[in-house]
Amino acid sequence: MRHAAWILAAGAAFFWLSASSFAGPDGESPAAGAPKPSGAAGVSRGPTDVAAPPRLDAAEEKPAADLSKVPGVVIDHQPASSGLYIGSPSLAVLPGGRYVASHDLFGPKSVEHERALTRVFESSDRGRSWKRIAEVQGQFWSTLFVHRADLYLMGTWKHHGNLIIRRSTDGGRTWTEPRDAKTGLLAEGQYHTAPVPLVVHRGRLWRAFEDAMGGQKWGERYRAFVMSMPVDADPLDRSSWTFTNVLARDPAWLGGEFAGWLEGNAVADPAGRIANILRVDLPPPGGKAALVRVSEDGRSAAFDPETGFIDFPGAAKKFTIRRDPSGEHYWSLVNYIPPKHQGPRPGGVRNTLALTRSKDLLRWEVRCIVLYHPDVARHGFQYVDWQFEGDDIIAASRTAYDDGLGGARNHHDANLLTFHRIEGFRELTLARSVVAPQSLGMGPSGQEVPGD
């Protein structure tokens, strides 16, 4: 079995990958309107190596970034001074083994409310190095996934825009344009999502979404649903997809403290039923997710507030759940809040990334702290998308961290997209965390932690 070592630098703890792999330097506001996509694909051809910015004359030379202390491998860097922030990390592995990652841009200098921009990157050396291969105009909050050997990018056209999907047959360099109901324009209106997983189950492909047409306020406006299609259908054809009914929040749930749900995960439970497990916005201490049941034919969704809320560490932030193809557990990477960092706003604490697992989707345990920084205000490892790779987990993180240029604006407005490999994840325990659990106010190694 391979072993990962740990190091501590500049107050931050993170994995140092063993020689068996590699070692390297380690938005939430409402918008209106959703015009129908039109125009050219907006794809840049010709890769751009993010490690080689254009050279400036000496008189114009800007301060150089120092990314040497950033955990993981830097895929992309966007200084806070640019007014552009990195969001929606996603990660996929192509049939030949090449990795593809993506992120979008949000912030005051972005075009997220007009025609959002997503960048696409590739790695041909298992994540040691990355280069940009495309920029896709009109793509936001999107998931990369592989289906029947082709690569897809599924999300919205812009912040609260149309629901769209694109296909690439060349590994992410060029993409189709969602012009109409036959070419990827799946629903028109205001929609919300994140890079959440798709799951193949009983001959259908399933994905969770929310519409944003239940009001004007963030969180409260989101109504949950699940969409699915036969695995042999065309994902770009609107008629391939079946949508459940939408489910709005009820402010009376959880004693009147339920503020909203979003960023759901479609997952098959141990009994073979599809569920949608959603992030829940709550006041402290947080730590509750919502489990929505979906009918076998994919046409209806139902939620029972008496049994549907489950204890889930880190549930106030986006998470991804996947079932281990080689074991009996479900796994997730979450922004767990240890007792030391409890505060007034659970959704704003993203400085701790924990590996969690469950046998039944109902009871979850924190297995290991895999990324950590003691500062909550301007550091975060968030919206992590990840994949199984044998005994490892590979992950892409929207990371707020020091960069030698003043760092991130805050924990939310990330300045980095980073890649991480968690080796031998099934064997990890709290005792092997990057920071002593007791220093965070946690219990002894192996203790189940039922919520935030």
Q: Give the model confidence (pLDDT) of 392-443 as tens digits.
A: 999 999 999 999 999 999 999 999 999 999 999 999 999 999 999 999 999 8
Per-residue pLDDT for 32 more than 90? no
pLDDT at position 7, please?
A: 32
pLDDT of 450 reads 44
Q: What is the pLDDT of residues 54-90, one digit of tens each?
A: 444 444 567 899 999 999 999 999 999 999 999 999 9
For position 62, what pLDDT does the model report? 76
> Tokens standing for 167?
């296909």
pLDDT score of 91: 99
Q: Which helix (H) or strand (E) element contains residue 181?
A: none
Question: Would you state the pLDDT for residue 148?
Answer: 97
Structure tokens at 154: 């599924």
Q: Which residues pair with 276 in a beta bridge?
A: 266, 292
Q: At 297, which CATH number?
A: 2.120.10.10
Q: C-alpha angle 270/276/280, rounded to 5°?
A: 120
Tokens of 384: 């992590």
| pLDDT at residue 212 tops 90 | yes
Instruction: Tell me if 265 sits within 8 A of 208, measured CB to CB.
Output: yes
Q: Are 190 and 212 in contact (CB under 8 A)?
A: yes
Does residue 239 surpass a pLDDT of 70? Answer: yes
Q: Is residue 50 part of a domain?
A: no
Please state the domain count of the chain.
1
pLDDT of residue 140 exceeding 70, the answer is yes
pLDDT in tens, 265-294: 999 999 999 999 999 999 999 999 999 999
For residues 44 and 248, the model is more confident at: 248
Cα Dmax for the chain:
66
pTM of the predicted model as reported, rounded to 2 decimal places: 0.87
Whether 300 maps to a domain, the answer reads yes
What would the mean pLDDT of 188-203 be, rounded to a whole number?
98
Mean per-residue pLDDT over the chain, rounded = 88
Q: What would the mean pLDDT of 159-168 be, rounded to a whole number? A: 98
Residue the block writes with tokens 């309107």: 33
Residue 424 main-chain phi, psi, to 5 deg: 55, 45
Residues 6+ apart with CB under 8 A from 195: 88, 89, 90, 141, 142, 143, 144, 155, 320, 383, 385
Is the pLDDT reported for residue 33 higher than 60? no
- Let me know if residue 190 belongs to a domain: yes
**Lowest mean per-residue pLDDT among 5-14, 88-97, 270-279, 301-310:** 5-14
Confidence of residue 327 (pLDDT cuts 50, 70, 90): confident
Quick one: pLDDT at residue 273? 98
In a domain? residue 32: no
> 42 in a domain, yes or no?
no
Residue 223: domain span? 5-26+67-440
pLDDT at 15 over 70: no
Whether residue 446 lies inside any domain: the answer is no
In whole angstroms, give the CA distance from residue 105 to residue 88: 8
**Both tokens of residue 110?**
């972005």
What tokens were used for 29? 């506001």
- Report the pLDDT averaged over residues 323-336: 95
| Residue 214 within any structural domain of the chain | yes
- With 50 as the cut, is the pLDDT of residue 14 above it? no
Asked if the structure places residue 240 within a domain, the reply is: yes
Going by the DSSP 8-state scheme, the letter that residue 256 receives in this structure is H
- Which tens digit of pLDDT belongs to each residue from 354-403? 999 999 999 999 999 999 999 999 999 999 999 999 999 999 999 999 99
